[in-house]
Structure 1
Amino acid sequence: MLVCAIHCRCNLFGRIDQREIMAGSTSGGNPQSRPTKNQRREAAREKARQFREQQERQRKRKRLLIQIGVIVAVVAVVLGGWLIIQSVQKHEQAAASVMPANMPNDGVVISEGLAVQKAEPRAADVQPERQTSPDGRLVVEIYADFMCPICGQFEQTYGQMLSEQAQAGNIDLVIHPVSILDQASQGTKYSTRSAAAAASVATYAPDSFLNYFTTLLQPGVQANESTSGLSDDRLVELARQVIGDDHPEQQDQVEKSIRDGEFKKWVKRSTDAANLTGTPTVYIDGQSLDDLSKVSDTLQQKLKDRGIDMTQTGAGASEGQ
């Protein structure tokens, strides 16, 4: 009995010790395998550092993307502005290069029978010259601004006489519409608009040019200084009247040209090229005539030198009879 009790006790103790050992091994019983408090603190700090670095990288990436976006936007704006400027400049250059037809040296040449000498538009880079006659006729050139009151007086005094001499084939009458009084039309730039309208008629309805020119200088029609001048509608209306309803295509072409301001740039260029000090400016046989009261006498003498008696033509012939 005593032996059995001792044996059982030993077995009991053995099992107890074995269970304790097994329990210790399954629960990770080695205390050194667990992270210490300092290790856990360092691990947390490392994780926080990595998180901060990740956040900083994301902020830098976001900032870089914003900067790239701003740069792209600025480049787009600059490029867009440059393209717009280039487009405007090309448009202005194209407009400046538009030249009227039938005005070889920026003037309409009216010859025998009041026929307009037809001519293709001059190249924009070719400077105008003093007009000469291919037939050796005496050349009379007139530079006129449609708002100039003295131009109106000149037309009333000498217009018919000059037209008669041209019709008879004694002279080539060259008319240059110019613009020197834009500042006198309340901001509407009437001198330029009317000169451009005359160029439109010269280009698309040349046989009606002289009539249009004289109409715009007629009393009651001619615009007065310090007014807005005639409207584009009125310029178109007068052009349609002188062209006549028998030529609807010419009427439409002239109207479109006037409303588009097709020859406004040309007016400025031609006026600048003329280098005028005032209007009307008159050249007879290539020489400027300072005293306009001597137009008839000078013309008569010049024609006489060529063996032509201007008094036998038109009004002069009537006066001599």
Structure 2
Amino acid sequence: MASSDSGNDPDKMSKKDRREHMREVARLRREEELKRKKRNRIITQIGVVVGSLAVIALVVAIVVNTTAQNNRPGPANMQSGGISFTGAAGKIEAKTTPALKAGENPVGVKQDSAKTNVVMYVDYLCPLCNQFESANLDGLKDMVSAGTVDLQVLPISILDRVSAGTKYSTRSAAAMACVANYEPNGFLDASAALYAKQPEEGTAGHSNADLAKIIEDSGVKNANIAKCISDGDYTNFVTSFTQSALNGPLPNTDVPKVTGTPTILVDGKQYSPQQNVGWGNTQDFFKFVEQVQAQNKK
């Protein structure tokens, strides 16, 4: 015999039962929707918390890293912000100085009045610096090794804005600070190697690993240098010294501050190429050196 129970079949329900059934279905749907919204709200809250924790962790990491950078001592042999070279009898030696303490400002070196003192503020992304050094460094080294000239090289970073966001100027100058710290007598060879492979302005430049490789290939071999470059040990040192050079005053000269690179000083007198003569003109530069030397003898 067929059952007379209408069960949950709406077609067999009375009008009253159908209304009750629809209310129940609506209630269940509302409850399910409330549960869904609650689940989504909890998931969203968890996401916000996790995201906030990630941001906090990142900020803490940046602060810790920045603090560590700021608390690092400066490089040895760059007490003035740059490295100095002297020589005699055909040899060139870097002048050794202790490392600057964390937060200690560079101080100008006392120049030898018996010699001509050549000071170069350079940026390793600067094409004019490359032209100047490529043309004149060998001649300067000859004069240093002969004992007539003391040479000072001060790497700064004013061209980060044209290195596609990689801060190549700062990184390359910091790499050379690593060389000054660990292998000061290899500095000039490493410097020439960086110029020989100088990237174009507007490009990202070399990676830190490539900088270390270029320096090693120049004959400067010390495992500490690659780690120093990778860790960015002296990036803050370079940034701070660059600002000091741009603000001035500069030591041992009446030139108030660096306004561009290269800034070349010969016994405090600033060299600029003659009109229509570029930075790579050897004759023009050494004529200027001779003029300064002659003035000093008067």
TM-score (norm 2): 0.67
Decide whether the 8 Å contact of 1:108 with 1:116 is kept in 2.
yes
Partner Cα separation in structure 2 for residue 224 and residue 300 of structure 1:
33
Q: How does 1:48-197 map to 2 (within 5 A)?
A: 89=63, 91-98=65-72, 99-112=74-87, 113-134=91-112, 136-197=114-175
CA spacing shift, 1:118–1:150, aligned 2, 3 Å: same
- The CA deviation at 1:306 is 6.0
For residues 290 and 101 of structure 2, what CA distance do their matches in structure 1 show? 36
Query: Residue in 2 aligned with 1:258?
Result: 229
Cα separation, 2, equivalents of 1:204 and 1:193:
17
Partner of 2:49: none
Equivalent-residue separation in structure 1 for 2:124 and 2:98 (angstroms): 25
**Bigger Cα displacement from structure 2, 83-92 vs 228-237:** 83-92
Question: Are the aligned partners of 1:131 and 1:139 in contact in 2 as well (CA < 8 Å)?
Answer: no
CA–CA separation in structure 2 for the residues paired with 1:197 and 1:240:
11
Counterpart AA for 2:241: S
Shift of 1:137: 2.3
Structure 2: tracts of 5 or more residues without a match: 1-51, 247-257, 278-283
Tell me the number of residue pairs that the alignment of Structure 1 and Structure 2 aligns.
Answer: 223
Q: Tell me the CA shift for residue 226 of structure 1.
A: 0.8
Give RMSD over aligned pairs.
2.7
In 1, the alpha carbon distance for the partners of 2:92 and 2:294 equals: 21
Q: CA deviation at 1:123?
A: 3.1
1:227 aligns with 2:203: yes
Q: 1:271 to 1:174 in 2, by over 3 A?
A: same
Q: Is the 8 A contact 2:193 2:215 kept in 1?
A: no
Q: Secondary structure at the match of 1:200?
A: helix
Q: For 2:110 and 2:292, locate their aligned partners in 1 and report how far apart those are by CA, in whole Å.
A: 15
Tell me the residue number matched to 2:288. 298
Equivalent position amino acid for 2:84 in 1: V
Partner of 2:189: 211
Alignment correspondent of 1:278: 260
**Cα distance change on mapping 1:189 and 1:251 into 2, 3 Å:** same
**In 1, Cα distance between the equivalents of 2:207 and 2:61?**
29
Equivalent in the alignment of 1:267: 238
CA gap 1:85/1:238 in 2 versus in 1, 3 angstroms: closer
Cα 1:256–1:135, aligned 2, differ >3 Å: closer, same or farther? farther
SS of equivalent to 1:128 = coil
Query: TM-score under structure 1 normalisation?
Result: 0.63
Contact 2:70 2:103 in 1 (8 A): no
SS at match of 1:172: strand
1:161-208 residue CA offsets vs partner (Å, 9 max, x unmatched): 111111111111100111111111111111111111111111011111
Give the deviation of 1:254 after TM superposition: 0.4
| Distance (Å, rounded) in 2 between the aligned partners of 1:84 and 1:188 | 20
Query: Which residue of the partner structure matches residue 198 of structure 1?
Result: 176
Counterpart CA distance in 1 for 2:219 and 2:71 is 26
Q: Which runs of 5+ in 1 are unaligned?
A: 1-76, 245-249, 308-321
Following TM superposition, by how much is the alpha carbon of 1:210 offset from its aligned partner in structure 2, in angstroms?
0.5
Q: Deviations over 1:22-65 (max 9, x none)?
A: xxxxxxxxxxxxxxxxxxxxxxxxxxxxxxxxxxxxxxxxxxxx
Identity of aligned residues (%): 31
Q: Normalized per residue, which structure has more helix?
A: 1
Give the CA deviation at 1:155.
Answer: 1.1
Partner Cα distance (1:86, 1:231) in 2: 26
Q: 2:71, 2:143 → 1: CA distance?
A: 34
1:128 is displaced (CA, Å) by 2.9
